[in-house]
Structure 1
Amino acid sequence: MAAMGEKAAAMDSISRAPAPPSALNLATDTAVRGENTCPEGATEPTTTAPKKPSNNNDGGVETAEEATEPAEQDINELCKDMFEKMAIFLQGELTATCEDYKLLENMNKLTSLKYMEMKDISVNISRNLQDLNQKYASLQPYLDQINHIEEQVTALEQAAYKLDTYSKKLEAKFKKLEKR
């Protein structure tokens, strides 16, 4: 919260009055840009501690802190760590993909087995249907005879009804004649 207050105060002081242009310091300028300011015999560039904002009243301008790059060994360790983590990530992705393919393979095998079972069932049904058709064909003459007998029975029944009605009429006439 205090950092926010300092930033707000710095922004407020910048917006109130423009800062007068200052003379460029080439030594500070090259250090900020990251140029090598080492003497010719030095092996590593010298790094300076970050500058803290000064408390002098020079128009509210803050000084920039120098950006320092991490040492070469740190970069190598970070790169190595990044590659290890990337390898772990990719290994996990590839493992997940392989597991997906194994699952699909197992599903395909099970589906294939189910289709084989269904094929066997349909072959059995077809065979049984052919057997039933053959049995029906062998029974067809007997069924035809039954149908013929049924027709004859129906005709005989109708003749019996006619005979019954005729006999009732005759009986009625006979009774009529007897009464006379």
Structure 2
Amino acid sequence: MAAEEDGGTESVDLKDLCKEMFDKITQYLNGELTATSEEYKLLQQLNQITLAKYTDMCAIAHRLNEVSSRVNDNYKSLQPYLEQIDQLEASVSTLEQTAYRLDAYSKKLEAKFKAIERR
């Protein structure tokens, strides 16, 4: 009878140990699945934030494109005036050179006139 009781006790202990093992494995797997689920939730949140940032960046890029287009249009409309300014600058430069030559010529004439006046 003692042998039977030992066999019965071992069987009960083994059943309890198996139940405890399966309970712990279940807890472990639940923990792993919960952690994986939380990681996916975090990844989903990160993707949503990234989407929002890219949406904002896209809107900013569109506004910059519009502003750039307007600046380009303004530059094109100012182009004839800029060309006139360049032509005017060239004319002023030519006029300035002519004024320097005229000044030099008038100084020579003045020197000749003074030379004639002294005689």
Is the shorter-chain TM-score for this pair beyond 0.5, marking a shared fold? yes
Give the number of aligned pairs.
119
Q: Normalising by the residue count of structure 1, what TM-score does the alignment of the two structures yield?
A: 0.61
Hey, what does 1:144 align to over in structure 2? Answer: 83
Hey, what does 1:105 align to over in structure 2? Answer: 44
Question: Residue 70 of structure 2: which of 113, 131, 135 is its match?
Answer: 131
More helix by share: 2
Q: Offset of 1:139 from its aligned partner?
A: 1.2
Q: Offset of 1:109 from its aligned partner?
A: 1.0
Q: Normalising by the residue count of structure 2, what TM-score does the alignment of the two structures yield?
A: 0.89
Q: Offset of 1:177 from its aligned partner?
A: 2.0
1:148-163 equivalences in 2 (<5 Å): 148-163=87-102
Hey, what does 1:85 align to over in structure 2? Answer: 24
Hey, what does 1:119 align to over in structure 2? Answer: 58
Task: Give the letter for the 1:144 counterpart.
Answer: E
Q: Which runs of 5+ in 2 are unaligned?
A: none
The structure whose RCO (Cα within 8 Å, separation 6+) is larger is 1
Larger Rg: 1
Give a deviation string over 1:33-65, Cα, whole Å, max 9, x none: xxxxxxxxx695475xxxxxxxxxxxxxxxxxx
Q: Within the alignment, does 1:76 sit opposite 2:15 as a pair?
A: yes
CA RMSD for the aligned pairs?
2.1
Task: Give the letter for the 1:149 counterpart.
Answer: L
In the aligned structure 2, how far is the partner of 1:46 from the partner of 1:134?
Answer: 100
Hey, what does 1:12 align to over in structure 2? Answer: none
Q: Which runs of 5+ in 1 are unaligned?
A: 1-41, 48-67
Q: Structure 1 residues 46, 124: CA separation in 2 closer, same or farther (over 3 Å shift)?
A: closer
In the aligned structure 2, how far is the partner of 1:118 from the partner of 1:46?
Answer: 76
Q: Offset of 1:74 from its aligned partner?
A: 0.9
**Secondary structure of the equivalent of 2:42?**
helix
